[in-house]
Amino acid sequence: MTSSAIFSPSPRGDLQSPWSPKTIKPRKPQKPSTLLPTLQLFKHPSQNPLIYSSSFPHNLKLPSLKDPISSTHSHPLPDSADENFTKNLENLATLQRITHGFDSLSAPEMNPKRVYIQEPPWITSLLMKNFYRSNVKKRVRFEIDKRNYYILRRRQIKAETEAWEKMTEEYREFQREMCEKKLAPNLPYVKSLFAGWFEPLSKAIEKEQKSPNTKKHQEAYAPYIDSLPADKMAIIVMHKMMGLLMMGHEYRYVRVVQAAIQIGMAVELEVRIQTFLEKTKNCPKKKVLIQAQQDGTKENDMLRKRVKTLIKRKRIMEVQKILKNEEYQPWGRDKQAKLGCRLIELLTEIAYVQSPASQSADAPPDIRPAFRHIFKIIAMESGHVRKCGVIECDKMILTGLERTARHMIIPYVPMLVPPRKWKGYDSGGHFFLPSYLMRTHGSRQQQEAVRNVPSTQMQKIYEALDTLGNTKWRVNKRLLNVVESIWAAGGDIAGLVNREDVLVPDLNSEDMNEIKEWKWSVRKAKKINQELHSQRCDIELKLSVARRMKDEEGFYYPHNLDFRGRAYPMHPHLNHLSSDLCRGILEFAEGRALGKSGLRWLRIHLANLYGAGVEKLSYDCRLQFVENHLNDIIDSADNPLGGNRWWLTAEDPFQCLAACINLSETLKSSSPHTVISHLPVHQDGSCNGLQHYAALGRDTLEAAAVNLVAGDKPSDVYSEIAARVHDIMQRDSEKDSTTFPNAILARLLIGQVNRKLVKQTVMTSVYGVTFVGAREQIKRRLQEKGLITDDQLLFSASCYAAKVTLEALGEIFEAARGTMCWLGDCAKVIASENQPVRWTTPLGLPVVQPYFKTKRHIIKTSLQVLALQREGSMVEVKKQRTAFPPNFVHSLDGTHMMMTAVACRDAGLRFAGVHDSFWTHACDIDKMNQILREKFVELYSMPILENLLESFQTTYPGLEFPPLPKRGNFDLNEVLNSPYFFN
């Protein structure tokens, strides 16, 4: 049946189905019945592949349906799958039937656009049977997926709404067991503490709830203390307090104001959830689930109309009743802090710990308060030193705390189903847990800006966050087992912290100098142990989430933004923005066949993860590196802890091991290109901040330095800066040290200058790093080398190295400095008028810099007087100026990432983003590379600085701004052909 004519399948409305129960007589075409057939596979005719086939002529008519086309096709098919099927037959009038072969079509006047070929009945029957079966299978699969989704959604909503209730019931069970068996159950350390505190704390809270104190007294010191059952409130207080001790940066204590507000917020959240559930408890479960996903916009509109109508009728009492029942008034920080302080006070009164039974039998038991309220001198984030009230825990509590993190309640765990789509500032993300589009950290002006922006303007932002949130993840069980084995053996390899403290030195001398040295060593050891404790708790929290999620088919991370427009997962512990440990444990739940290009990118990805300078080689050299280490890679995958452990020498060991496992499976397969890979493969920007500045300034030399221009191998700006620093120090070292004291420092440092020494400073220079920040960064790198042991000399060397590094940076990136200075000058003009700097990103996100002088708000609580920091009316001029250039560039890199995310979604790719690192499946890297380059060019083809200046002039009409900085003539389209732009 080969011909140049266009063929279309024959219409099947007049065919007898081979599985029909009886012969049906021919019938005249009739109008579609209003009654639907028993089996309706398609809701709309456009979904029916029989009618809307790509080659089927829709506008043709048969000469007559009364004259059958063939005696073999004399019966119409009963129970048409589409109610409009017979109607569509009337559109076939221009269809021509071939009765005497193709020769009859030779005349020009007999050459139709489409040709109708009759088919034997067995072909029609076979096609219809296969079509019917495939659609039934799809329908069944859809119903199964739908049922599984609702099961997972119920679990998700239970996890969000019933966590505290479940834990409360668990401790009630412990109490019953203790009463019945007359002994304490065998519990992990933290749970044994909680079991001992649970009943007395519950009774203390219950007593407070029934206290005869006046309502005014309760409002002043313990508002809303009766809003939850006493036992549930006790569980919240204990878990929150221990959680703060685990996650805090301080050792053994947490500030009262922080603890009080966190506990107050947790109680309020539980009250809100239980209030909603109470309202809907008489509704069917399905209705409650659906209601959890709706925004309530229609309901609010109807309520508003009803209230307006009642006001017109002057039925004020009914209006007040409606508002009292429907409106939820947030408690506010004052009441949260007061309630939290009273609950903390009750905890400190009842919670005790007892030393192990290692003391003599005659001695009384050593029972001590578990928590103490004291005042402590603390260095604040601003650099000021202040006397603050803190809750300090006993040393015994910390002894087993880090080993029992898995028993803590962790809110905002990854979701089992895709998050709610974002539709507004507080509409999206989790079902019940409060979810906000932006992390404003209390900035009132930023909140108002985001709340008041039209939703149409924010549509691309919503789509990007939804795309990131819809990426399905799972735990790499094989890698998790390796991590668990290392952690159980004491850690201290692959970046995991040592589980044992360093030894505190003993004093073995009475010499004053040695005593002084000993005291310094003791302080240093204690500080190291405090840091180790914090790191161990962090790892335990990450592993506890991994253990909880490892048996799930998949899970999702709802995302939101910081005030600059950068996207972050809302779950704080186990996420892909975190450490090498987390990134190694996580992988895409969806697997895709590698293909030829995917296998190549998997090898390059492994070389990148190994690091040690390999990632700066050309792609061919990276592939050769992997080829040279195939035996090491296979050994690492087969025997990660008992083999030669080559993967431990990588800069990102756990991610490297995951890539080794994936590549090893591929190489052992008889068909490597068909192997399914779940591994996210990364494409990272080359010093991305400077890439954005180079695109803004259009400087050709700077563009080449950061890989905006094609090259045989990637340019390494860090090595270039290191070489320039080395040259400057070489010159300085040759000078006379009597007239130039830095010559001594230059001679000391000249052998220690390398890429790693300057990398962090160069990377953060575009984000506004100060001289002090650069000095501390370089000081840490010099400490790691360990060649300078004297503290004073180390400090002086760090100062000199930081000065030289910033000087070298200014020489190479002069145009970027010009753009940075222009942005800072504009911010200074605005801030000098006591105005915050405002701008709108290219995707429509309004940004307000939240740097205001704070004012203290005094609250009198039962525990102490608290001073809450609130946003004042005066801006911090210096902070507004220095922070604007890095914040503006961050808003641009966030825009580029979100534009790429939406485009990847439209192209059918799975996408995850970590600021300037874009992830997808290995087989899709080529497509993603094309998209991210196109979106970068699209972004910077806009007149970004011109639009920014125009918006400043419109927003602040009375101010005069400096002219735009000079720019070069770099052609942005060169980015499209640069292989190492992201690599």
**DSSP letters of 748-815?**
HHTTT--HHHHHHHHHHHTTT--HHHHHHHHHHHHHHHT----HHHHHHHHHHHHHHHHHHHHHH-HH
Beta strands across the sheet bearing 438-439: 438-439, 559-562, 567-569
pLDDT at 843: 94
Among candidate residues 191, 460, 616, 759, the one labeled active-site is: 759
The full length of the chain comes to: 983
Asked if residue 209 is part of any domain, the answer here is yes
Mean pLDDT in residue range 579-587 = 94
Three-class DSSP labels, 235-284: HHHHHHHHHHHHHCCCCCEEEHHHHHHHHHHHHHHHHHHHHHHHHCCCCC
**269 shares its domain with 369:** yes
Write out pLDDT tens, residues 879-895. Answer: 999 899 999 999 999 99
The pLDDT confidence band at residue 361, using thresholds 50, 70 and 90, is: low
Write out pLDDT tens, residues 461-501. Answer: 999 999 999 999 999 999 999 999 999 999 899 989 998 88
* DSSP 8-state assignment for residue 493: S
**99 shares its domain with 189:** no
Is 916 noted as a catalytic residue in this protein? yes
Picking from 859, 872, 865, the residue whose alpha carbon sits closest to that of residue 388 is: 865
**611 shares its domain with 691:** no
Write out pLDDT tens, residues 181-240. Answer: 655 556 667 777 777 888 888 888 988 888 877 677 777 778 888 888 888 888 888 888
Asked if residue 478 is part of any domain, the answer here is no
More confident residue, 118 or 410: 410
**803 shares its domain with 868:** yes
- Overall domain count for the chain: 4
**22 shares its domain with 87:** yes
In which region does residue 552 sit, left (phi positive, over 0), alpha (psi from -120 to 50) or beta (all else)?
beta
**26 shares its domain with 130:** yes
Asked if residue 387 is part of any domain, the answer here is yes
**151 shares its domain with 186:** no
Question: Which residues, including other chains, have CB under 8 Å from residue 188's CB and lie 6 or more apart?
Answer: 400, 403, 404, 407
Mean pLDDT in residue range 76-80 = 35
pLDDT at 390: 87
pLDDT at 299: 55
CATH number at residue 626: 1.10.287.280
Asked if residue 315 is part of any domain, the answer here is no
**788 shares its domain with 893:** yes
Asked if residue 321 is part of any domain, the answer here is no
Residue 280 pLDDT exceeds 70? no
Q: How far apart are CA 312 and CA 301, in angstroms?
A: 17
Q: 366 phi and psi, to 5 degrees? A: -85, 90
The pLDDT confidence band at residue 975, using thresholds 50, 70 and 90, is: very high
**762 shares its domain with 836:** yes
Write out pLDDT tens, residues 696-733. Answer: 999 888 888 889 999 888 888 888 888 888 888 888 88
Residue 797 pLDDT exceeds 50? yes
More confident residue, 755 or 927: 927
Residue 48 pLDDT exceeds 80? no
**673 shares its domain with 690:** no
Among candidate residues 334, 501, 684, 825, the one labeled active-site is: 684
Picking from 484, 479, 493, the residue whose alpha carbon sits closest to that of residue 658 is: 479
Q: How far apart are CA 708 and CA 685, in angstroms?
A: 10
Interstrand relation of 96-97 and 115-116 (parallel, antiparallel or unpaired): parallel
Round the average pLDDT of the chain to a whole number and report it. 79
Give the percent of the chain with pLDDT over 70. Answer: 76
pLDDT at 36: 38
Q: Which two tokens stand for residue 789?
A: 């042991």
Picking from 163, 164, 176, the residue whose alpha carbon sits closest to that of residue 232 is: 164
Q: How far apart are CA 229 and CA 240, in angstroms?
A: 17
SS3 content of the chain, % helix, strand, coil (to 5): 55, 10, 35
Q: Which amino acid is at 60?
A: L
Among candidate residues 716, 893, 916, 924, the one labeled active-site is: 916
pLDDT at 605: 95
Q: How far apart are CA 982 and CA 691, in angstroms?
A: 10
Write out pLDDT tens, residues 589-634. Answer: 999 999 999 999 999 999 999 988 898 899 999 999 999 999 999 9
Mean pLDDT in residue range 410-435 = 87
Among candidate residues 661, 677, 693, the one where a domain is terminated: 677
pLDDT at 724: 87
pLDDT at 364: 64
Is 759 noted as a catalytic residue in this protein? yes
The answer to which of 63-72, 221-230, 753-762, 966-975 has the lowest mean pLDDT is 63-72
pLDDT at 856: 81
pLDDT at 938: 95
The pLDDT confidence band at residue 67, using thresholds 50, 70 and 90, is: very low
- Tracing tokens 């070929």 back to the chain, one arrives at 117
Asked if residue 107 is part of any domain, the answer here is yes
Question: Which residues, including other chains, have CB under 8 Å from residue 454's CB and lie 6 or more apart?
Answer: none
Let me know: does 86 contact 29? Beta carbons within 8 Å.
yes
Q: What is the largest CA-CA distance in the chain?
A: 121
Residue 324 pLDDT exceeds 70? no
pLDDT at 331: 85
Among candidate residues 677, 708, 732, the one where a domain is terminated: 677
Write out pLDDT tens, residues 82-99. Answer: 333 333 433 433 444 444
pLDDT at 953: 92
CATH number at residue 755: 1.10.150.20
Q: Which two tokens stand for residue 334?
A: 């004052």
Residue 19 pLDDT exceeds 50? no
pLDDT at 307: 62
**704 shares its domain with 598:** no
pLDDT at 365: 67
Among candidate residues 610, 643, 677, the one where a domain is terminated: 677
User: Where in the sequence is the domain holding 223, given as residue range(s)?
Assistant: 162-284+335-407
Residue 898 pLDDT exceeds 80? yes
Is 684 noted as a catalytic residue in this protein? yes
Asked if residue 717 is part of any domain, the answer here is yes
Write out pLDDT tens, residues 4-16. Answer: 333 334 333 343 4
**726 shares its domain with 623:** no
Cβ neighbourhood burial of 54 (10 Å; 0-12, 13-18, 19+): exposed
Asked if residue 266 is part of any domain, the answer here is yes
Q: Is 794 helix (H, G, I), strand (E, B) or coil?
A: helix
List b or e across 390-409, with b for residues whose CB sees 16 or more CB atoms inside 10 angstroms. Answer: bbbbbebbbeebbebbbbbb
Q: What does each C-alpha distance from 39 to 33, 47, 139, 208 come to in angstroms?
A: 14, 15, 11, 64
Q: How far apart are CA 13 and CA 128, in angstroms?
A: 12
Q: Which two tokens stand for residue 721?
A: 């800066």
At residue 448's C-alpha, the angle toward residues 444 and 451, to 5°, is 135
Q: Is 663 helix (H, G, I), strand (E, B) or coil?
A: helix
pTM for the model stands at 0.75
Q: How far apart are CA 375 and CA 388, in angstroms?
A: 5
